[in-house]
Every structure is written in C-alpha cells, then in structure tokens.
Chains A and B, each alone.
Chain A
Amino acid sequence: MSSEAAAAASQPRSGYKPSQAEIVLGVTLVLFVIMSVALPGFITLGNLFTLARNISILGILALGMAVVVIGRGIDLSQIATLGCSAAIAMTMINAGWPVPVALGFGMLLSILMGLANGYLVSVVEIPPLFTTLASGLLIVGVTRALVVPAYQVFLEPGHTNILALGGTIAGGLPAPVIAFAICALLLHLFLSRTVIGRFIYAHGDNALAARLSGIATRPLTMIEYALCSAIGYVGGIIMVGSTSLMHLQIVDSTLIFDVILVVVLGGVSLVGGRGNVLSVIAGTLLIGLLLNAMTIMNLDIQTQDMIKGLVLLLAITIDSIIHPRDEETAKQGD
C-alpha cells in the first residue's frame, strides 16, 4: 500500500535466498515434528517404512516427469505407458518367457512410446499437453484390445526376483527406497554432469535459443520423453513387485496428478529449465508425509483432494513471491 512498506519489503533481500526445494524440505521437517507429536502411531518404525515404501514409487515416477518438465514439456501419458508396458511384460512372464527378456521387452516398449511422444511434440509440433493426453488414451486402448483384455494382470506365483523388488532388504528397509535412491543418484549425475543433461536445461530455459545455438532440439525432446517413460517403467515394475499385480485402473486414478504435484511442489517449475533432483526429493517427502498423515487420520478422499489442491496452490504462490518474474525483467530497464 504505502511506498515505505514496499521499500521495507524489498530492502533486506540482498544475501542468501533459499531455493524452493530448501523451503519445502524445511516445511517437511516442521510437519514431521508436528505429526510425530500429534499423531499416535506415526513415529513407529513400521509406519515410517510404509511411508518410505509408498513415497518411493511416487518419487521414481516424479524423477521421470522432472526430466520432461525441466525441458518445458509435460507427460500426462506416463502412467498409461508404464502401466501398459509393465502389464505386457507380466503377461509375457506368465506365458513362460524368460524374465529378463520380458522385462527388457517392456522397457523397450516404454522407450518407444516415449520416443513417439517426443516425435509428436518436437517434429509434428503438437503441444505436449494434448499429445500425451491423446497418446495415453491410445496406448491403454490398444493394450487392452490386444494384450490385456482384463483390467489387471496378476503375476503368477514363484517369481521371487520380481517380488524382491517390492520387498525388504536386511534390517527391514524396503527395497523400493533403495531403487528410488539409485534412480535419484543416476538422474542427478545425468542432469548435472553430462552435456545432454545441460542441454535439457538449456532446452527448457529457452527452446528457441537452444535451437539457434545448434543444439539438436528434436532428438533432445525425444530423449526427454523416452527417459520419462523409461524411469516410469522402473517405477511400474517395482509397483508389480510390491503388489504382484498391474492394475490398469491406475491410469484413471489421480496418480498422474500426484506425480505432477510432487514435481512442481519441489520447485521444478513448469516454465522449464529450473529445479533439480533435490527438488523432486523434497516434493516427494512432503507429499508422502501429507498422504501418510491423511491416511492415518482417516480422512475421506474429498478432504484429501482439497488439501492436496491447497498445498499446490500454496507452493506456487510462495514460488512467485520468492522469484518475482516481473521484477527481474523490470530491473533491466528495457
């Protein structure tokens, strides 16, 4: 209102500015402490392991999504892709194919679907929102018509290797957590240490400038979407390991919304070029914590949705206050 208040607000910000990921981690910590005190049964080892197991799969999917979002895209077909390729792989295993061949074939399928998405987005130039909305529908339709007529595929008993992926290792630590950690580390190295990783940031930051600089943006887009589906597929296999079934109903669930919520909440901005693996971890922890708390408190789905929506709005609001985009450009005076 008054100009003095505006001056006071803009004055002290000269030194350290926390990133969105750090803020989210802080909020998570505070929430964790509150819940430990307030919720009975929250701070038990069993519950924490359940929590970790549940968020790991979400986290893995979010890692894949983050690659596309950093490249200024979005992949709404991620769940459909992983559901279908995992279901096809399971069907092959049940039909007696060797497990590595079946899993490899599933991986190949998911990569191909990612490449197709990338091709449509970059070469045919359809906006990613529509491309992946349509391709997700198409993938599920084709899969159900040809391979998985029922909504679900049960893994036949006896495949302990796959089930181990969803089990626990020594000390009761859930294996999905290890998988999440490995995926996060690998993706972090890829994004920060390889040239392609840096190109993905450049592409998301300013696609036109990337193109004009001589970066091959079309193959790059295909790599982004292929990575998203491939990482998603890893999450899908671990899902099968945990539940020994792949239920295509997840395509119609709000899972894709949760994945995007995690990505955006941590600070991987939809504007592109911003955020990193730490952002995804921060977002995963916060959302995992919230979901777990809401389950313990036995809230109904509507209330859960309301809380999730509010959290997302809050995160975006805080982000735009900390990183005011207009002020930054205004500073240049042109």
Chain B
Amino acid sequence: MNHQPADPVLRIVAGSKIYGGIHAIDSVDFDLLPGEIHAVLGENGAGKSTMCKAISGAILLSSGDYFLGGRKVSFASPGEALKSGVAMVYQETSLVPSMTVAQNLELGMEKLFTVYRKINIAAQQSQQALNFNVEPLALVETLGTAKRQMVEIARAVRHKARVIIFDEPTASLTPEEIQHLFHLLRSLRAQGVGIIFISHAIEEALNIADRITVLRDGKLVHTGPAAELDRPAVVRMMVGRDVATSHYGEVETDGASEDVVAPKKDRRRVLAVENVTMGSVVKNMSFSVYEGEVVGVAGLVGSGRTEIAHIICGARKRNFLRGGLIYLNGKPIRYRVPRQAVRDGIVYITEDRKLDGFFETMTADDNIYLGYLASPKGKRALFSARQRKVVSDRWVKALSISALKRSLKIIEYSGGNQQKVVVAKSLAQDPSVVIFDEPTRGVDVGAIPQIHAAIRSLAAQGKAVIVISSYLPEILAISDRILVARGGRIAEEMSAAQATEEKIMYAAIH
C-alpha cells in the first residue's frame, strides 16, 4: 500500500467520529512515523482525545480507515490495540493502586500461575532497560505521580508497543520530572517507537516534538515539522483567530493595569490565615488577603495550596485541624461545612468542575439559579422560573456564556462554558471572598481571557480574590501579589512587579 520513503507505522485516512449528529472529528488524516514524536494540539473539544481514543481502540471510527504498519485494522477494545502494539498512557493513571509495581507491569499478560520471583526480576530488568528507578516491590499507591507514570510507560514498553500515546503527560509533574520524561521520550524515539504527545502546554510540544498536528473543531488545521512553528502561530491555528495571542503575559497586564495600582495603605484586611496546620499537608501556613486585590497562589501539587483553600471554606469532610486560626474581617472563623462559609460570603470555585462543580443533569440556568438559592440572600420556599431567568440572564451576560441553546444540559457545553457556569454559580451568591482553584484548567483558549477579565473585575469591585494555579503565566498575568506555597507553608511572597516565572519556580522547588 504505502511506498513513501519512511513507511508510517500508523495512518488514519479521512477518519470521522460522530456523536449524536455532531462530528467530534471530521475526516482527519493523520500519520505517525516510527521513531517520531508527534504532538497533537488543540483546544478542549477540538477532537484530540477522540482521535487518540480511536487510535487506542477505546472507540470505533464512524468512518475512515485506520492502518497500522500498512495493514488495515479495526480494534474493538484497548486490549486488542495493545496486543497489536498500540498503548496509551493515561492522564489519570490506570494502574491498580493496591498491587506492586511488578504486578502492575504484568497486568493483562499473566500466565495461569504467577511466579512472583519471575515477574519481579522481569520488572527489575525492564526498569533498568529504561533507566528507571522504581522499586518493583513497592505498592503503586505509595508512589508519586511521576513514578506512576514511569510504571505506565514501562508497561507500554513491556507490551512491545510500537505506538505509545501520551495524554497530557506533564500535567502534574515538576520541571525536573518533565525533563526526565522528555529524556525518556527521546530514548524511546531512538528505539523506533512512534510517540503521540497530547498536551495543552504549547511550549513543551514545540520543545519535544518532531512534528505537530493542530486540530480545531474536529478538523485538521495543520501538520508539519515543529521547527517551522512558534507559539503565536500555534495559538493562532488552535483558536482560528488572532485575539488569543494577547491572552497571557505582558499584553494582558497592560489591559488590566488601570486597576493594578500601587498597594493602597488603607486597604482593609479581609482574610487572615495564621499558623494553620492540618495533618502533614498544611504546616504553619500564614498569609493575608486584602480587599480589592487578586492574590495568586503558586506551588506544586501537594504543596498545601488546595488544602488550605478547602480549610478556609469548610470543604474538608474530616477536619484534622491541629491548630492555627483563620480570621474573616477580624473575627475568627472555623467552618465545618461550606454552607457556613457561603453564609459569611466566602466561596470556593473548584479545580475539578465535573467532580464537585456543576449539576450535570441540569441546564446552565438551573445551575446558576441553584447557586443563588443556596446563598443567604436567595433564601425562599418556591422555585421561580421568572427569577431563574433574571438571575441567570445577568450572569450569562456578565461572563459572556455562549448560551445559544439554553435548554441544553450543562454536560453538553464546552469546557470553557462549563467553567463559566461554575464561576457564575458561585458569584451569584454575592461573595466577598472568592477562591479560584485552577480557574482555567481544561478551558478553551478563547475563554481564558474572559475568565481572567471576570477575576480582575471582582477585585475592581473591592472583593478579596485568591487564585490558585499551576500555570505560572496565568499567575503572573492576573495577580497583584503572589504567594508561593511549598511543603505546606507559604515559602515566599512577592509583588507581581518583581515576580518572574523563574523566581516563582525557584521558590516552589527549593
């Protein structure tokens, strides 16, 4: 079939997948050469996950052909794909936490009787071949994210994968771990493995990939060597318009600079956290938040930044607080349930909207109105369709939620609109302190500036705003003051003017 110079190990020809009449991907042509790192970029909902699910056998293409090593294939399950040498390393790792590393490596290819000594030795060997350092007898649940990912990769290699798909592999890794991962990807490439690399982080893709494919609204926009591209060009292709080049960094701050004035001396301290300790995650954490400012909290996953937010707003179910005090407007507070925090005007906007953000069976209007009803000023006995319209109209307009079909359930909205609805649901409660946790995670590039503008305007209205984010350009773009959390305490505080990505990263790691 293929008589090109280097035969692609994998080819999709005019692949389409249709969900309920809508094309998730629309006649996409994709090919992967052996020994190549091929990055797939695109906004959420652009179809990159759908394409990779089709490649890894999790779903079937509605139409189009799928060639693997020149042979036409059609996989009914990921297991079949794995047997043919196509492996996927998932965002949320798919290991069994209660088993050892060796057992996990063996998963799915066990003999009738497992000889533990043999699989342990095999695990040791495969780890060494990949230059890993993971104890084969360790339970997976005791490992950190980075090591789990290594185990997943080792498993893919052990299944003699010719194609490995990485879905957002760097999302929760430290910079050092990312470097290690990239090193590993390069060595896999040298062994002739074809690698598909899905990421939101454009810089990483530009850095590691040989070729880049950009998808937008299910269609292929561009495929070409990474060397010919730069960040603005990629963003332009992802979004399909030019505005998004101004969504991070310098340009954004000059848009907001009118309200970023020098810290006023007479600002009221709204929230004060003093020496709060909880378990081993939060240790002696102290900081203050003043009215009318955005405080950015940076730090690695596990640095205690999300946990302190949970403590402040009462979201922790079992509260093993070991001391310390939190003051709201000078009064000590300690909430056991979020309802008490909402009553006092503190809202927390979750980092995982699917888990505890929105009500999936309901429309956007219902979601926003329920937020209003749960707040003290929304207390009433009867559900009013008229009031629902008034409340939700206000927020749909304020956050420019594109609600062409207001009767749609929220689960059918795009990531950006879902996030805006979750934000609206909390802002409808008229809070005085707003805590955002990863406000733009899984949000389409186009919606990010709108959410940032909403955050800035909250501060302009005199509210105290805390933004927790792993994405440093975001922290730099919207904060007045930046706190860096490390190992359960605030390691460093800097003003937005002094801060740079390097400084923050340095404080977060060392």
Which residues of A are in contact with B by a Cβ distance under 8 Å? 3-4, 6-7, 10-14, 192-199, 201-202, 205-206, 208-218, 273-274, 327-334
Contact = CB atoms under 8 A, between A and B. Distances in A.
Contact of B46 (A194, A213, A274, A333): A333
Given A10-B20, A334-B442, 20 more contacts: A7-B18, A10-B18, A10-B19, A10-B21, A11-B21, A14-B21, A194-B381, A196-B381, A197-B383, A201-B362, A206-B360, A209-B350, A211-B339, A213-B371, A213-B374, A213-B425, A214-B339, A327-B19, A330-B24, A331-B20
Given A3-B64, A10-B62, A333 B370 contact: no
Given A3-B64, A274-B361, A330-B19, A214 B375 contact: yes
B415 A332 contact: yes
A211 B19 contact: no
Contact of B383 (A13, A193, A327, A329): A193
**Secondary structure dominating the interface of B:** mixed
A333 B62 contact: no
A206 B352 CA distance: 13
A126 B371 CA distance: 27
Contacts of A209: 350, 355-359
A120 to B, nearest CB: 16
Contacts of A3: 60-64, 74
Nearest to B346: A214
A213 B313 CA distance: 11
B432 interface: no
Nearest to B353: A209
Nearest to A269: B361
A93 B12 CA distance: 78
Given A198-B370, A202-B362, A331 B19 contact: yes
A14 B22 CA distance: 9
B411 interface: yes
B382 A193 contact: yes
8 contacts: A3-B61, A3-B62, A12-B21, A193-B383, A206-B359, A213-B370, A215-B339, A330-B59
A214 B341 contact: yes
A230 B411 CA distance: 34
Contact of B24 (A217, A273, A333): A333
B495 interface: no
A209 B425 CA distance: 11
Given A7-B18, A10-B62, A198-B373, A212 B350 contact: yes
B315 interface: yes
Interface in B19-76: 19-22, 24, 44-50, 53, 59-64, 74
Contacts of B48: 333
Nearest to B375: A214
Given A205-B360, A273-B361, A330-B53, A7 B22 contact: no
Contact of A334 (B45, B359, B381): B45
Contact of B414 (A12, A329, A332): A332
Nearest to A10: B18
B356 A206 contact: yes
Contacts of B362: 201-202, 205
Interface residues on B, range: 35 or more
Nearest to B411: A328
Which residue of B74, B338, B347 has the most chain A CB atoms within 10 A of its CB atom?
A: B338
A333 B217 CA distance: 11
Nearest to B341: A214
Given A197-B383, A213-B370, A205 B429 contact: no
B348 A212 contact: yes
Contacts of A273: 359-361
Contacts of B63: 3-4, 7
A3 B412 CA distance: 24
B121 interface: no
9 closest A-B pairs by beta carbon, nearest first, are A214-B342, A208-B356, A7-B62, A14-B21, A214-B374, A205-B359, A333-B49, A333-B45, A214-B339
B338 A214 contact: yes
B343 interface: yes
Given A212-B338, A212-B350, A330 B382 contact: no
Contacts of A194: 381-383
A279 B62 CA distance: 34
Given A3-B63, A11-B21, A202 B359 contact: yes
Given A208-B356, A333-B48, A215 B19 contact: no
A195 B337 contact: no
B3 interface: no
B405 interface: no
A14 B20 contact: yes
B397 interface: no
A332 B47 CA distance: 8
A321 to B, nearest CB: 13
A293 B252 CA distance: 71
Contacts of A202: 359, 362, 370
A212 B356 contact: yes
Nearest to A211: B338
Interface string B311-333: 00101000000000000000000
Nearest to A4: B63
Contact of A215 (B16, B60, B348, B374): B374
B215 to A, nearest CB: 9
B383 A195 contact: yes
B380 interface: yes
A204 B164 CA distance: 39
B194 to A, nearest CB: 22
A328 B412 contact: yes
A273 B412 CA distance: 17
Contacts of B60: 3, 6
B49 A334 contact: yes
Contacts of A329: 411
A216 B337 CA distance: 8
Q: A195, A196, A214: which has the most chain B beta carbons within 10 Å? A: A214
A192 B59 CA distance: 38
A215 B46 CA distance: 35
A333 B358 contact: no
Given A11-B18, A329-B411, A333-B24, A211 B59 contact: no
A210 B339 CA distance: 10
Counting chain B CB atoms within 10 Å of each CB, the highest count among A13, A201, A334 belongs to A334
A7 B61 CA distance: 8
A17 B80 CA distance: 34
Nearest to B16: A7
B62 A195 contact: no
Interface in B270-311: none
Contacts of A14: 20-21
Contact of B47 (A11, A206, A213, A333): A333
Contacts of B22: 331
A178 to B, nearest CB: 26
Q: Which of A3, A10, A218, A330 has the most CB of B within 10 A?
A: A3
A211 B74 contact: no
Contacts of B24: 330-331, 333
